[in-house]
Protein backbone atom coordinates (compact mmCIF):
# COMPACT_ATOMS: atom_id res chain seq x y z
CA UNK A 1 0.00 0.00 0.00
CA UNK A 2 1.32 3.42 -0.94
CA UNK A 3 2.09 6.02 1.66
CA UNK A 4 -0.45 8.76 2.28
CA UNK A 5 0.70 12.34 1.86
CA UNK A 6 -1.42 15.24 3.05
CA UNK A 7 -0.39 18.85 2.52
CA UNK A 8 -2.07 21.54 4.58
CA UNK A 9 -1.78 24.93 2.92
CA UNK A 10 -3.28 28.33 2.21
CA UNK A 11 -3.91 29.93 -1.19
CA UNK A 12 -1.42 32.75 -0.52
CA UNK A 13 1.46 30.53 0.65
CA UNK A 14 4.23 30.59 -1.95
CA UNK A 15 6.12 27.70 -0.37
CA UNK A 16 2.91 25.64 -0.43
CA UNK A 17 2.61 26.16 -4.19
CA UNK A 18 6.30 25.33 -4.66
CA UNK A 19 5.98 22.08 -2.70
CA UNK A 20 2.83 20.96 -4.52
CA UNK A 21 4.42 21.77 -7.91
CA UNK A 22 7.57 19.87 -6.91
CA UNK A 23 5.65 16.76 -5.81
CA UNK A 24 3.55 16.89 -8.97
CA UNK A 25 6.71 17.12 -11.10
CA UNK A 26 7.96 13.96 -9.38
CA UNK A 27 4.68 12.18 -10.12
CA UNK A 28 3.87 11.84 -6.41
CA UNK A 29 0.19 12.02 -5.50
CA UNK A 30 -0.99 13.88 -2.43
CA UNK A 31 -4.10 15.10 -0.69
CA UNK A 32 -4.39 18.87 -0.49
CA UNK A 33 -6.26 20.59 2.33
CA UNK A 34 -6.77 24.36 2.44
CA UNK A 35 -6.83 25.42 6.10
CA UNK A 36 -8.53 28.72 5.20
CA UNK A 37 -11.68 27.07 3.81
CA UNK A 38 -11.68 23.65 5.49
CA UNK A 39 -12.39 23.99 9.21
CA UNK A 40 -11.59 20.31 9.84
CA UNK A 41 -8.20 20.71 8.12
CA UNK A 42 -7.47 23.77 10.28
CA UNK A 43 -8.26 21.71 13.40
CA UNK A 44 -6.01 18.89 12.15
CA UNK A 45 -3.06 21.28 11.71
CA UNK A 46 -3.62 22.77 15.16
CA UNK A 47 -3.68 19.26 16.66
CA UNK A 48 -0.56 18.15 14.76
CA UNK A 49 1.67 21.23 15.16
CA UNK A 50 -0.12 23.58 17.56
CA UNK A 51 -0.12 26.60 15.27
CA UNK A 52 -1.60 27.54 11.90
CA UNK A 53 1.61 27.42 9.85
CA UNK A 54 1.88 26.28 6.24
CA UNK A 55 2.83 24.19 4.52
CA UNK A 56 2.47 21.28 6.89
CA UNK A 57 3.07 17.92 5.25
CA UNK A 58 2.00 14.64 6.82
CA UNK A 59 3.71 11.65 5.20
CA UNK A 60 2.31 8.51 6.82
CA UNK A 61 2.31 10.14 10.25
CA UNK A 62 5.60 12.03 9.97
CA UNK A 63 5.01 15.78 10.14
CA UNK A 64 7.25 18.15 8.19
CA UNK A 65 6.77 21.88 8.65
CA UNK A 66 7.65 24.16 5.76
CA UNK A 67 8.93 23.27 2.30
CA UNK A 68 11.98 21.47 3.70
CA UNK A 69 13.15 19.54 0.64
CA UNK A 70 15.89 17.51 2.38
CA UNK A 71 13.45 16.28 5.05
CA UNK A 72 10.73 15.66 2.47
CA UNK A 73 13.11 13.73 0.21
CA UNK A 74 14.38 11.64 3.14
CA UNK A 75 10.85 10.70 4.21
CA UNK A 76 9.68 10.05 0.64
CA UNK A 77 12.62 7.65 0.23
CA UNK A 78 11.80 5.94 3.55
CA UNK A 79 8.23 5.22 2.39
CA UNK A 80 9.36 4.12 -1.07
CA UNK A 81 7.96 7.00 -3.10
CA UNK A 82 11.33 8.40 -4.16
CA UNK A 83 14.47 6.60 -5.26
Q: Is residue 56 part of a domain?
A: yes
pLDDT tens-digit series, residues 26-47: 999 999 999 999 999 999 999 9
- Which contacts (CB < 8 Å, 24+ apart) does range 47-56 have? 54/8, 54/9, 54/10, 54/13, 54/15, 54/16, 55/7, 55/8, 55/9, 55/13, 55/15, 55/16, 55/19, 56/7, 56/8, 56/9
Does 1 score more than 70 pLDDT? no
Q: How many structural domains does the chain have?
A: 1
Question: Residue 25: what pLDDT?
Answer: 96
Rounded mean pLDDT, 34-63: 95
CATH number at residue 72: 3.40.30.10
Q: Is residue 23 part of a domain?
A: yes
Q: Is residue 47 part of a domain?
A: yes
Q: Is residue 83 part of a domain?
A: no
Does 2 score more than 80 pLDDT? no
Q: By residue range, what is the domain housing residue 24?
A: 5-78
Q: Is residue 63 part of a domain?
A: yes
> Cα separation of 38 and 2, whole Å?
25
Q: Is residue 18 part of a domain?
A: yes
Amino acid sequence: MAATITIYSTPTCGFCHMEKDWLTSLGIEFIHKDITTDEEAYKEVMKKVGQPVTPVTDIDGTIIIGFDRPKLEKRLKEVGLLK
